[in-house]
Amino acid sequence: MMRTLAVEWGSKYGIRVNCIAPGPIENTEGVARLIETRNVYQEAINSVPLKRFGKAEEIANLANFLLSPEAEYMNGECITMDGGRWLNNQIIKN
């Protein structure tokens, strides 16, 4: 949907459409509900190559960049910001 909107809105109105796909972010309701025990918490941390969860400020900084003039040619991108967790899971599966 994001890429379709990027093409449609970009060509028609000059509107850029990008998205952020965050990984686990510390001190959020998502982490609190999905990671209930200390063992599961440690497993989740270990699945992230950077060995920590993200911070809300880091996601906000990426959003700020996407809104800035430095990113005004970026359109139709989904940026995964998860400390390498997705990549780590892909390597383990292969």
Whether the CB-CB separation of 37 and 77 falls below 8 Å is answered with no
pTM: 0.84
pLDDT value at residue 32: 86
Extract the tokens encoding 15: 């509107």
pLDDT value at residue 33: 87
Q: For residue 94, is pLDDT > 70?
A: no
Backbone φ and ψ for 65, nearest 5 degrees, come out as -60, -45
Give residue-wise pLDDT tens across range 13-72.
999 999 999 999 999 998 888 888 888 889 999 999 999 999 999 999 999 999 999 999
Whether the CB-CB separation of 18 and 6 falls below 8 Å is answered with yes
